[in-house]
Each structure stands twice: as structure tokens, then as C-alpha cells.
């Protein structure tokens, strides 16, 4: 294990550290003294402190040291802006950025890509120059979808990766523990803070039998989603094992792990096997495959590993499935699908079939799909539905262009879109139906929530394998079952589609296609990050001020929020997403969804300095301009929802000091601490009711110490002042964050010393 094997073919100096991992694991093993699941092995071998870390599945918070970070272009903007504000010369851990989310599908990749490059120029220029400056690998627009690029280039067995996108688990197809996170977590790892994760439970899925015929790897996860539902994987890693695993290709395993995000799982993972070795070899990483073989004992579960829940699936009996509409866990086997469609009144005509996306665009997927399209063409028919293909990467596109699958799709009537997310993330200028018109579409994607693909809430979106997507696109109707039903050829004769077939890996190797990677230059000192001062989408962040060391007195309550206050209420999504790289602009949505306890209304609060009623961000800005810091009073589970870091950045930016609630959602609480704010809770939750929106408060911040409450002195408008106790969960290092103004300031200070 002493060998120096590079993590990938793009970077120098970043090695796979199986030696350290096995040492860490030995320490944890001696402590736990029980067989471990594979997912546990990966996590525990990346512990920051394997000796001292408390480990209880579903209970403890693990401090981890991931091997890599990956960001997509929408989430990378704020992550990098924050990282920049720390003033560090380069990222502390290997990081890549991938331009895939901002490319809209209109007429096909050839025209759509240059248009997107034009529209998003300032974002791409910013990301490209920031990546060059801070030693980050930059995958330009057109390179492909983040998860496909990670699988092709960066994933390795036993590694731990975090990515700012929910389908990051795709890399589980190469035995990597790859976890989707918010931007704040990515920033931590870029700045060398340990990354925290609640020790996941482990759900075991034992696969027996062998896949064949129309059944594809996708059907495994479609079936699992049906069993576990969209919530069933929450707080757990799904770990596949058993003799059936070897009948799946590495990319097929990637598909299964990818869509594990749909059941809420932390991630999904497969044990290292020969199929992964073959894929590593095909993608020019034989050395990694050999290295993994030397560590293979730890790249699978221990005998007798215990799972919190166990599911068994016999692949030989697994039927192809179609899931949806509107939710990915409504799983229907193909034999029952026509009946279900009829019973539920799902629109019979299939308007569009869409294959590709990060979920299903491997060489194998494309080859099998093309074999079905070719079969149809041989019978003189084409796709009845509109048909689109999004290659997952430039490498896939170039390889299927060379080997002919792409031409088959075009002959079949398909439109080849850019190597990007496109319709999967709603970047789709769909023209064939009007908004509001009920219609059915079918795709090989992973997510089919209402309106996701085309913004039309009446679109019934179904997800399935690429194979069934093509078959139903040919038939043009939901009631077609290719396993049993016939189609008419061009002369009106009945025929049955042949079962799909295709190579898992290209016989002539992959064609890399165009060079779409930008490596950081050797000399980065002269690179300057490009942000236009007049941009409304991007804004350089300045570090937040350090604490002045004093108690804060006479603070107004900006808003006393009542009831549910989620991250959506605090920092709304939708049209605001455009500004996620511009803190000042996006701050205009701060708390506009929160309900004011004073009047039961949203976004209407009283400015205590003027007596006027105004919007929340406007009042906060007025206080800020007057040099007045303020607090928010919140109810139970304040900040539940997403890990969106903007919900913590905005109040900090507009001059908030503390958020005082009955309780917090944990991630939001940590995000507030990271930004140098004080998340505090009423030691007696009933005290929430004693506070009036027009009270003033003092926060005795000088009392802040681990495990001790601090005092809130309340000055009611009419009446006697009184003291109440506030609790907090700050530990030693987090108190430093507060004192220095933010976690990033703290890291920057450390880096300088
Ligand atoms: Fe992109 Fe859709 Fe995947 S948005 S990352 S292709 S799930």
C-alpha cells in the first residue's frame, strides 16, 4: 500500500492514500470490535480523529476528511466567492468545477452550446478565472455532466468525495462514497476544515440472480425506490452486495447509485469488483485498478456485517419498471403499466422520449438504446414521439459519434442536445405543448417532480431505463409493452422489437473528443479573478467583521417569526436563483416568506427607528445603514429544509447578530455559526411567548462559553426589563468562528500563521 498512485490522470501530487486509510481503519476496528459494512469502512477510514471520534450509527456526528470536492456551475458560484473571501492562495483539497447546469436545450447541441456560452459568459469567465487562480480543475461548458465526468476521471474505489449536487452518489459505481452537500460544506473542505456528517445508518441491498433481456440496471433502483419510497433512505447509506452485483457494469452501478438520491439516501455504494477494474482500465486508469486490487479486502463489507435494514432483489426475476408520474417512487412493473395508465387517466400519447442525463448516458446505455432504434429503422419505422439524447460527456458523445450510435439516433428522428443537464433541470425551451396542457413524457432521467423538466405542472413525467424510453417513444403510447406487444412495420406487418443488446465498454476504447478541460496554470500568481463590478449576478465578498469583544445592547427585533420558517422562507428559490452569486442582490429575498408574529403577514414589519411598516430586507438595510445590529426571533425547527448557505449569509450581510429560536434545524444552525452569527435557543421554550416584536434586547455575548447559557436582557417597550437564559451548541472551535467573524476568517488566520 506504500505505492504512490495518482488519483487521476489530470492532477499532479494528489495520491490515493490506501495506506493511511488502512491505518485509520485498524484503529477504529480495534475500538469497535465488530464486522463493518463497506460504507462504514470508507467513512471511518477518512475520520479526522480515528482515536477519539465517537461512532454510533444514526447518532454521532463524524468529522471527516474527504479526498475531493466537486461543484457544478450553479452551486459553485457562491462556494468559490466564499472561499475567495478567506484569502487563501489555493484550495486545500483537490477540487473541480463542472459547467453543466446553465445550458438550455432549444434546437440541438451545436447551436445551444455557443448560445449558452454567450448568455452565461460572465459566470463562466468568473468560474474559469477563479479556478485558475485557486488551483481548481475547470471543466468548460460542453465537457459534460458533473457526475459522468467524475466517474470517467476522478472516482476511485474506497475514496470519499463531496459534491454540490444531489446526484453526486453516481460515483458509487466505482466503489466511492460520494455525497451531495450544500455549498457551505464544500467551502469547508476547500479551506481545510473537517467536514461533518451524522454517522449514517446502512441499508443493505442483496442482489442475487442475473440481469437479462429488457431488464436494465436502472430497474434495480426503480424497484428499490418503490420499496423504500422517497423518504426511506433518509440518514442512511444504501450498500449493494451479493452475487448479482457481478452481472452489472460499473456504469450500471453508477446509475443505481445516482438515483439513490431519489429515496433520500446519503449515498449509495457498490463493493469493488472486476467490472469496476474493467471500467478503470477502459478509462486509462489501470494503475488505480491494480492498486485497488491490493487493497481489495477493505473495499467490500466484512463477513457478518450488520445492516439496519435488509432488502433482497433477485435480478433474474426483476421486471422492467416505469416510475411516475410526479414522483420517482411510484413504481409500476411494465406488465402492469398499461393498466395503471388507463386506470389513472395518464395521457396515453407519449409526446417526448428523452435519453441520457447524468443517470443514464454510458456507452452501454447508448449502445442498447441504439440497438432498439436500429431495429425499428430496419422495420422501416422511426420514433413516433419527439426524441432527444443528452450525452453525459464529450467523451461519450465523441465515442458514439465514431461508433455510429449517434447517427442511428439521428436517423431515428432524434435531436442530439449539448453534453449537459438540459431538460433534466428544466433547461428546456419546449415548444410542442402549451403550458397547462396535460401530456406524457418519458425519460431515462432520475427525477420527475411536477414541472421539473418543462415548467408545465400538467406534464406527466415518467422515468425508466433508456431501453423502455426508446421502446415507448417508438410506439408513441404508454400502453405499449415491448416484452409482449407487437408494432406495425412500414408495410403494416406485425413485428416484435428485439431485446436490446450492446457492449458495456467500447471495443476500440473511448474517443476523448474535444479538449474541454482547463488545468490550473503552473504560475497562478498573475491570474486575476474576473468579476465585473457592474454585474448583477456576481459580487466579490468581503470578509465579515470580527466580533468587537463587547456585549451587544439595545438591539431591535427585526422580525419575530411565527410558525414554520424554512430555508425557503428565509431565502426563497425560484427567480432568486439567478442571484446566487451576488450576495447583496439575493439578500433582497431575506425572510420575505417568514410570517411576522406582530400582524400574521409575510414581508411586512415595523421599522422601530421610523415607525413605518416595510419589507423585511428594506428594514434590515435601513438598520444596517444606521449602524444598528439586530436579532431575529424564531419558532421551532427554524431553518429546516435545505442546506442553502444563502439563508445564513444574508442575515449576516444585512447586519444581523443573533437568531434566537425555540429550536433549529441542525444544518442551518451550523451554517449560521460558520458565518459568524449567534444561533441561540430559549433555554425555556415558553420564553418565546414572552417576547414582543417591539421589545429591545441586550445579548451578553461576553458570557459565551462551551456548555454555558448566556443572558438575554429584554427591555419591553412598556414595562420592566428582565433576564432570560439562552442555550447554544457552540464548541471551542466554533466560538473562535464567532470571535473572528466567520469560520473562513478563522481558517484564513490559521493559514497566515
Ligand atoms: Fe444534471 Fe439532471 Fe443530473 S440536473 S446533474 S442531469 S440529475
Residue pLDDT, tens place only, 32-75:
999 999 999 999 999 999 999 999 999 999 999 999 999 999 89
Nearest to 170 by CA among 194, 195, 196, 152: 152
Residue 682's contacts (CB-CB under 8 Å, 6 or more residues apart) are 660, 661, 662, 688, 724, 725, 726, 727
Q: Residue 237: which CATH number?
A: 3.30.499.10
pLDDT the model gives residue 578: 80
Q: What is the DSSP string of 681-743?
A: EESSTTHHHH--TT-EEEE-GGG-BTTB-EEEEEE-SSS--EEEEEE----HHHHHHHHHTSH
Q: Beta-carbon neighbour count of residue 609 at 10 Å?
A: 12
pLDDT the model gives residue 179: 96
Atom of ligand 1 nearest to the CA of 357: 6
Q: Helices (DSSP H) in 135-181: which residue ranges?
A: 146-149
Protein residue closest via CA to atom 5 of ligand 1? 358
Kindly indicate the confidence band of residue 666, based on its pLDDT and cuts at 50, 70 and 90. confident
Residue 237's contacts (CB-CB under 8 Å, 6 or more residues apart) are 37, 39, 177, 200, 201, 202, 203, 265, 266, 267, 268, 269
Question: Could you tell me if residue 690 is inside a domain?
Answer: yes
Q: How far is the CA of 132 from the centre of ligand 1 (A)?
A: 25
- Give the pLDDT confidence of 458-496 residue by residue, as tens digits: 999 999 999 999 999 999 999 999 999 999 999 999 999
Distance CA 460, CA 326 (A): 6
Whether 306 and 330 map to the same domain: the answer is no
Per annotation, catalytic residue among 65, 321, 430, 644: 644
Q: Would you say residue 641 has pLDDT above 90?
A: no
Q: How far is the CA of 596 from the centre of ligand 1 (A)?
A: 37
Beta bridge partners of 265: 234
Residue 271's contacts (CB-CB under 8 Å, 6 or more residues apart) are 38, 175, 240, 241, 245, 299, 300, 301
- Dihedral in degrees, nearest 10, Cα atoms 358, 362, 367, 369: -20
Question: Could you tell me if residue 4 is inside a domain?
Answer: no
Q: Can you point out the beta strands (E) in 364-443?
A: 386-390, 414-416, 439-443
Is residue 285 a contact partner of residue 176, using CB atoms and an 8 Å limit? no
Question: Could you tell me if residue 463 is inside a domain?
Answer: yes
- Bridge pairing between strands 605-606 and 494-495: unpaired
Whether 267 and 333 map to the same domain: the answer is no
Q: Beta-carbon neighbour count of residue 550 at 10 Å?
A: 9
Whether 302 and 408 map to the same domain: the answer is no
Q: Is 48 a catalytic residue?
A: no
Q: Widest CA span of the chain, in angstroms?
A: 92
Last residue of a domain, one of 281, 316, 351: 316
Kindly indicate the confidence band of residue 572, based on its pLDDT and cuts at 50, 70 and 90. confident
Q: How far is the CA of 217 from the centre of ligand 1 (A)?
A: 18
Instruction: Tell me phi and psi for residue 47, to 5 degrees.
Output: -70, 145
Query: Whole domain around residue 461: which residue ranges?
Result: 319-484
- 357 within ligand 1 shell (Cβ under 6 A): yes
- Give the pLDDT confidence of 99-141 residue by residue, as tens digits: 999 999 999 999 999 999 999 999 999 999 999 999 999 999 9
User: What is the DSSP code (8-state) at residue 10?
Assistant: S
Protein residue closest via CA to atom 2 of ligand 1? 424
Whether 280 and 414 map to the same domain: the answer is no
| Residue from 178, 360, 393, 425 to probe ligand 1 pocket by mutation (most atoms less than 8 Å from CB) | 425
| Residue from 73, 97, 151, 358 to probe ligand 1 pocket by mutation (most atoms less than 8 Å from CB) | 358
User: If you average pLDDT over residues 323-348, what whole number do you get?
Assistant: 97
- Give the pLDDT confidence of 207-262 residue by residue, as tens digits: 999 999 999 999 999 999 999 998 899 899 999 999 999 999 999 999 999 999 99
Atom of ligand 1 nearest to the CA of 390: 6
pLDDT the model gives residue 163: 96
Is residue 266 a contact partner of residue 200, using CB atoms and an 8 Å limit? yes
449509495: which residue's cell? 268
Kindly indicate the confidence band of residue 575, based on its pLDDT and cuts at 50, 70 and 90. confident
Sign, CA dihedral 570-575-580-586, equals negative
Question: Could you tell me if residue 527 is inside a domain?
Answer: no
Cis peptide before 124 (omega within 30 of 0): no
Q: Is 100 a catalytic residue?
A: yes
Question: Could you tell me if residue 5 is inside a domain?
Answer: no
Burial of residue 484 (CB within 10 Å: 0-12, 13-18, 19+) is: exposed
User: If you average pLDDT over residues 184-190, what whole number do you get?
Assistant: 93
Q: Distance between alpha carbon 638 and the CA centroid of its chain, in Å?
A: 22
- 98 within ligand 1 shell (Cβ under 6 A): no
Distance CA 652, CA 17 (A): 38
Whether 274 and 354 map to the same domain: the answer is no
Q: How far is the CA of 171 from the centre of ligand 1 (A)?
A: 14
Per annotation, catalytic residue among 147, 430, 447, 646: 447
Question: Could you tell me if residue 579 is inside a domain?
Answer: yes
Whether 289 and 330 map to the same domain: the answer is no
- 261 within ligand 1 shell (Cβ under 6 A): no
| Residue from 100, 143, 427 to probe ligand 1 pocket by mutation (most atoms less than 8 Å from CB) | 100
Q: How far is the CA of 446 from the centre of ligand 1 (A)?
A: 8
- 102 within ligand 1 shell (Cβ under 6 A): no
Q: How far is the CA of 445 from the centre of ligand 1 (A)?
A: 8
Instruction: Kindly indicate whether the ipTM for this predicted assembly is greater than 0.95, answering yes or no.
Output: yes
Q: Helices (DSSP H) in 203-282: which residue ranges?
A: 217-228, 250-259, 274-282
Per annotation, catalytic residue among 100, 219, 375, 454: 100
Residue 639's contacts (CB-CB under 8 Å, 6 or more residues apart) are 565, 566, 567, 570, 647, 664, 665, 667, 668, 669, 671, 672
pLDDT the model gives residue 750: 86
Whether 643 and 717 map to the same domain: the answer is yes
Whether 619 and 737 map to the same domain: the answer is yes
Kindly indicate the confidence band of residue 753, based on its pLDDT and cuts at 50, 70 and 90. confident
If one counts the domains in the chain, the total is 3
Distance CA 86, CA 81 (A): 9
| Residue from 145, 178, 443, 461 to probe ligand 1 pocket by mutation (most atoms less than 8 Å from CB) | 145
- 80 within ligand 1 shell (Cβ under 6 A): no
Whether 263 and 179 map to the same domain: the answer is yes
Whether 327 and 460 map to the same domain: the answer is yes
Question: Could you tell me if residue 1 is inside a domain?
Answer: no
Last residue of a domain, one of 290, 316, 342: 316
Distance CA 44, CA 21 (A): 8
Whether 272 and 375 map to the same domain: the answer is no
- Give the pLDDT confidence of 360-394 residue by residue, as tens digits: 999 999 999 999 999 999 999 999 999 999 999 99
Last residue of a domain, one of 444, 463, 484: 484
Question: Could you tell me if residue 164 is inside a domain?
Answer: yes
Nearest to 82 by CA among 638, 747, 727: 747
SS3 323: strand
Whether 647 and 698 map to the same domain: the answer is yes
Atom of ligand 1 nearest to the CA of 359: 3
Give one word for 586, left, alpha or beta, with left for phi > 0 and alpha for psi -120 to 50: alpha
pTM comes to 0.91
Q: What is the CA radius of gyration of the chain?
A: 27
Amino acid at each position: 500500500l506504500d505505492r504512490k498512485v495518482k488519483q487521476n490522470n489530470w492532477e499532479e501530487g494528489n495520491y490515493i492514500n490506501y495506506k493511511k486509510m488502512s491505518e485509520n481503519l485498524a484503529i477504529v476496528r480495534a475500538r469497535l470490535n465488530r464486522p463493518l459494512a463497506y460504507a462504514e469502512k470508507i467513512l471511518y477510514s477518512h475520520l479526522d480523529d480515528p482515536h477519539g471520534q465517537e461512532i454510533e450509527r444514526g447518532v454521532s456526528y463524524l468529522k471527516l476528511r474527504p479526498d475531493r470536492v466537486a461543484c457544478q456551475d450553479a452551486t459553485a458560484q457562491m462556494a468559490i466567492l466564499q472561499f475567495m473571501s478567506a484569502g487563501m492562495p489555493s484550495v486545500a483539497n483537490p477540487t473541480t468545477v463542472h459547467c453543466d447546469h446553465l445550458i438550455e436545450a432549444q434546437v440541438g447541441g451545436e447551436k445551444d452550446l455557443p448560445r449558452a456560452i454567450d448568455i452565461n459568459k460572465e459566470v463562466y469567465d468568473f468560474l474559469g478565472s477563479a479556478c485558475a487562480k485557486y488551483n481548481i480543475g475547470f471543466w468548460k461548458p460542453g465537457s459534460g455532466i458533473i457526475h459522468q465526468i467524475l466517474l470517467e476521471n476522478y472516482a476511485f474505489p474506497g475514496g470519499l468525495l463531496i459534491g454540490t449536487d444531489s446526484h453526486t452518489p453516481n460515483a458509487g459505481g466505482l466503489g466511492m462514497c460520494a455525497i451531495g452537500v450544500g455549498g457551505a460544506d464544500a467551502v469547508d473542505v476547500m479551506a481545510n476544515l473537517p467536514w461533518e456528517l451524522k454517522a449514517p445508518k446502512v441499508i443493505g441491498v442483496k442482489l442475487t440472480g442475473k440481469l437479462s433481456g429488457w431488464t436494465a440496471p436502472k430497474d434495480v433502483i426503480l424497484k428499490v425506490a418503490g420499496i423504500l419510497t422517497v423518504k426511506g433512505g433518509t440518514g442512511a447509506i444504501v450498500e449493494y452486495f451479493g452475487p448479482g452485483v457481478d452481472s452489472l457494469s460499473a456504469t450500471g452501478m453508477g446509475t443505481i447509485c445516482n438515483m439513490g438520491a431519489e429515496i433520500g439516501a446519503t449515498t449509495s455504494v457498490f463493493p469493488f469488483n472486476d467490472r469496476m477494474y474493467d471500467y478503470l482500465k477502459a478509462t486509462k486508469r489501470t494503475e488505480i485498478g491494480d492498486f485497488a486490487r491490493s487493497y481489495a479486502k477493505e473495499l467490500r463489507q466484512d463477513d457478518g456485517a450488520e445492516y439496519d435494514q435488509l432488502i433482497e432483489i433477485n435480478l433474474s426475476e426483476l421486471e422492467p419498471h416505469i416510475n411516475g408520474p410526479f414522483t420517482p417512487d411510484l413504481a409500476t412493473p411494465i406488465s402492469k403499466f398499461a393498466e395503471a395508465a388507463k386506470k389513472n387517466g395518464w395521457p396515453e400519447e407519449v409526446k417526448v422520449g428523452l435519453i441520457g442525463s447524468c443517470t443514464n448516458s454510458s456507452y452501454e446505455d447508448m449502445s442498447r438504446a441504439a440497438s432498439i432504434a436500429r431495429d425499428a429503422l430496419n422495420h422501416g419505422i422511426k420514433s413516433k414521439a419527439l426524441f432527444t439524447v443528452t450525452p453525459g460527456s464529450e467523451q461519450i458523445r465523441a465515442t458514439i459519434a465514431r461508433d455510429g450510435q449517434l447517427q442511428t439516433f439521428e436517423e431515428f428522428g432524434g435531436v442530439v442536445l449539448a453534453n449537459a443537464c438540459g431538460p433534466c433541470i428544466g433547461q428546456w425551451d419546449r415548444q410542442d405543448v402549451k403550458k397547462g396542457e396535460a401530456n406524457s413524457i418519458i425519460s431515462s432521467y432520475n427525477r420527475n417532480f411536477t414541472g421539473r423538466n418543462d415548467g408545465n405542472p400538467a406534464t406527466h413525467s415518467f422515468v425508466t431505463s433508456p431501453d423502455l424510453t426508446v421502446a415507448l417513444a417508438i410506439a408513441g403510447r404508454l400502453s405499449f409493452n415491448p416484452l409482449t406487444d407487437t408494432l406495425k412495420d412500414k408495410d403494416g406487418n406485425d413485428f416484435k422489437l428485439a431485446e436490446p443488446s450492446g457492449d458495456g465498454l467500447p471495443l476500440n476504447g473511448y474517443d476523448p473528443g474535444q479538449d474541454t478541460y482547463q488545468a490550473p496554470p503552473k504560475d497562478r500568481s498573475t491570474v486575476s479573478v474576473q468579476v465585473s463590478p457592474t454585474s448583477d449576478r456576481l459580487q466579490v465578498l468581503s470578509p465579515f467583521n470580527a466580533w468587537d469583544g463587547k456585549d451587544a445592547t439595545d438591539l431591535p427585533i427585526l422580525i419575530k417569526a411565527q410558525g414554520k420558517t424554512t430555508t425557503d422562507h428565509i431565502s426563497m428559490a425560484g427567480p432568486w436563483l439567478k442571484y446566487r452569486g451576488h450576495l447583496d442582490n439575493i439578500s433582497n429575498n431575506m425572510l420575505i416568506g417568514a410570517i411576522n408574529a406582530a400582524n400574521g403577514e409575510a414581508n411586512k414589519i415595523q421599522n422601530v427607528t421610523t415607525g413605518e411598516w416595510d419589507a423585511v430586507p428594506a428594514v434590515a438595510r435601513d438598520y444596517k445603514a444606521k449602524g444598528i445590529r439586530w436579532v431575529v426571533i424564531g419558532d421551532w425547527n427554524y431553518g429546516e429544509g435545505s442546506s442553502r448557505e444563502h439563508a445564513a449569509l444574508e442575515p449576516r450581510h444585512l447586519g444581523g447578530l443573533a437568531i434566537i429560536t425555540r429550536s433549529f434545524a441542525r444544518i442551518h444552525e451550523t451554517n449560521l455559526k460558520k458565518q459568524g452569527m449567534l444561533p441561540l435557543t430559549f433555554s425555556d421554550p415558553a420564553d418565546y411567548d414572552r417576547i414582543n416584536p417591539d421589545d429591545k434586547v441586550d445579548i451578553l455575548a461576553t458570557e459565551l462559553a462551551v456548555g454555558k447559557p448566556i443572558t438575554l436582557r429584554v427591555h419591553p417597550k412598556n414595562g420592566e426589563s428582565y433576564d432570560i437564559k439562552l442555550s447554544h451548541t457552540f464548541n471551542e472551535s466554533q466560538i473562535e468562528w464567532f470571535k473572528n467573524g466567520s469560520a473562513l476568517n478563522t481558517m484564513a488566520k490559521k493559514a497566515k500563521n
